[in-house]
A and B are shown apart, each in its own frame.
Chain A
């Protein structure tokens, strides 16, 4: 047991509130709703201080009391998390904004926020002595789980839609993972992964280890509050796939508020989905409490191609409660968002990042975002991982003879 861990943790249904002892669990046995982890917050309040956190290393283990890993984690990639908050002065000027920031998750070891959740899921599976790990993935989680499994010396099985290709697959294979391409959508891959978890007892991090896995994503929210001086920016825009990331950030907010570190009142949380896979945004815009799934979504922002979002209702509730919005953006708007962030701030985001930039522009125009708000965009991963689907502005570049005169002539005419 780590000195930092708080022993008393339990699992609670997010829908009906039924509680269970900590351990491997897929869903609530009463209502079959999603379950999450809860801690002994009184014990944490007595033990954890802001000064203690400040003295720790700049990675996500600095919040160990609010993480569910009980085994020592020495040497397990210390570079995960505590990613930079970057002020976007060029984009502020372009959009006439007072204060705009991004939380830059592209700098994690496998270039997305999924390193946080995959690492917790894999370490928990190792602690439980499960024979193998894996996940169902649209790509980012694949590489993160594969890397964590390599470090943990566990076999790794990744279930993806068979149509997935490019760096996310190749890199996962480099880490030694076995890729299983399921003929169908992400939701088909997820269904099969559920059955595999049941039959073989593997720790599939976003399936049967999910309550623990979510805790890794939560650290993004803890970091945001700490990095903004134990307060929240006025408005956070988060990409929406399953809704789990947005829900995890809000959980972080509630936990730091519960232990007395911050006051989150007034902070708005909004989400952004691609138009062709926007069940959460559709429910928001129609005022519905029902998430109607989308069958076999084929979209540019493939990491958000979750047709049946498990945390959709939870995310919808948070968005409504905090006065945010759920927006839907076209593929073209997403691509333009990627370009704008790259060309103004030097950050090449994956399409999910382009999605929040696109929603920022759209909702500024509609008046749903105030120009005086302190705004934070969550950039979840690097565009390099989706380079195979990125649409370049120019198909080729000019070729010039290798002498200065020729280059001068070229520069003068451009």
Chain B
């Protein structure tokens, strides 16, 4: 089971949901498509631009920023955790 976790800052586009679980394996772009279908247009337009997460949204797969993995082609395993966080860091 893949677990998708949303930061509280993003829950305005997930109907208030903080987690989403699904039987899935494949690349993360396909998982994004499922999430877009599940949460609708608002989710898609506010989180994504040209298929990729927008500048101020970071997506992590098992703790690794997907930009440091294989981007949209990053493979998601059946037991993976995908995390959506706003890009907030540093002092």
Residues in chain A within 8 A of chain B (CB atoms): 15, 25-34, 114, 117, 135-138, 140-141, 184, 186-188, 190-191, 194-195, 198, 206-207, 210, 241-245, 293, 295, 303, 306, 308-311, 313
Chain A interface, >50% SS class = loop
A15-B56, A34-B56, A184-B63 as given contacts; A206 in contact with B91, CB under 8 Å: yes
Additional 14 contacts, C-beta under 8 A, given A31-B56, A137-B91: A31-B46, A32-B87, A135-B91, A184-B63, A187-B65, A191-B85, A194-B7, A195-B5, A195-B83, A198-B18, A210-B88, A306-B91, A308-B90, A309-B89
- Residues of the A chain whose Cβ atoms lie less than 8 Å from the Cβ of B68: 293, 295
- Residues of the A chain whose Cβ atoms lie less than 8 Å from the Cβ of B8: 26, 198
Closest Cβ neighbor of B12 among chain A residues: A29
Q: Are A198 and B89 in contact (CB under 8 A)?
A: no
Q: Are A194 and B12 in contact (CB under 8 A)?
A: no
Residues in chain B within 8 A of chain A (CB atoms): 5, 7-10, 12, 18, 46-47, 54-58, 60, 63, 65, 67-68, 83, 85-91
CB of B60, distance to nearest CB on chain A (Å)? 6
Q: How far is the CA of A55 from the CA of B9 in the complex (A)?
A: 42
Q: How far is the CA of A313 from the CA of B56 in the complex (A)?
A: 11
Q: Are B10 and A32 in contact (CB under 8 A)?
A: yes
Contact of B89 among A295, A303, A308 (CB under 8 A): A308
Q: Are B91 and A244 in contact (CB under 8 A)?
A: yes
Q: How far is the CA of A242 from the CA of B91 in the complex (A)?
A: 6
Across chains A and B, which 4 residue pairs bring their CB atoms closest together, nearest first?
Answer: A242-B90, A27-B86, A306-B90, A26-B9
Q: Are B56 and A311 in contact (CB under 8 A)?
A: no
Among A33, A138, A241, A313, chain B packs the most CB atoms within 10 A around the CB of A33
A27-B56, A194-B7, A295-B68 as given contacts; A32 in contact with B86, CB under 8 Å: yes
CB of A11, distance to nearest CB on chain B (Å)? 12
A27-B9, A191-B83, A295-B68 as given contacts; A32 in contact with B57, CB under 8 Å: yes
Q: How far is the CA of A293 from the CA of B64 in the complex (A)?
A: 13
Closest Cβ neighbor of A31 among chain B residues: B56
Q: How far is the CA of A90 from the CA of B12 in the complex (A)?
A: 57
Chain B interface, >50% SS class = mixed
- Residues of the B chain whose Cβ atoms lie less than 8 Å from the Cβ of A136: 89
Q: Are B91 and A191 in contact (CB under 8 A)?
A: no
Contact of B88 among A29, A310, A313 (CB under 8 A): A310
CB of B25, distance to nearest CB on chain A (Å)? 24
- Residues of the A chain whose Cβ atoms lie less than 8 Å from the Cβ of B89: 136, 186-187, 190, 242, 306, 308-310
- Residues of the A chain whose Cβ atoms lie less than 8 Å from the Cβ of B56: 15, 27-28, 31-34
- Residues of the B chain whose Cβ atoms lie less than 8 Å from the Cβ of A141: 91
Q: How far is the CA of A114 from the CA of B90 in the complex (A)?
A: 12
Q: Are B58 and A245 in contact (CB under 8 A)?
A: no
CB<8 Å pairs between A and B, sample of 18: A15-B56, A26-B9, A31-B56, A32-B9, A32-B87, A34-B88, A138-B91, A190-B88, A195-B5, A198-B7, A241-B90, A243-B90, A244-B90, A245-B91, A295-B65, A306-B91, A308-B58, A309-B90
- Residues of the B chain whose Cβ atoms lie less than 8 Å from the Cβ of A187: 65, 89
Q: How far is the CA of A121 from the CA of B13 in the complex (A)?
A: 28
Q: How far is the CA of A186 from the CA of B86 in the complex (A)?
A: 16
Q: Are B91 and A117 in contact (CB under 8 A)?
A: yes
Among B47, B58, B83, B87, chain A packs the most CB atoms within 10 A around the CB of B87
Q: Are A26 and B90 in contact (CB under 8 A)?
A: no
Q: Are A194 and B91 in contact (CB under 8 A)?
A: no
Q: How far is the CA of A32 from the CA of B85 in the complex (A)?
A: 9
- Residues of the B chain whose Cβ atoms lie less than 8 Å from the Cβ of A190: 88-90
Q: Are A27 and B65 in contact (CB under 8 A)?
A: no
Contact of A188 among B9, B10, B63 (CB under 8 A): B63
CB of B13, distance to nearest CB on chain A (Å)? 8
Q: Are A241 and B91 in contact (CB under 8 A)?
A: yes
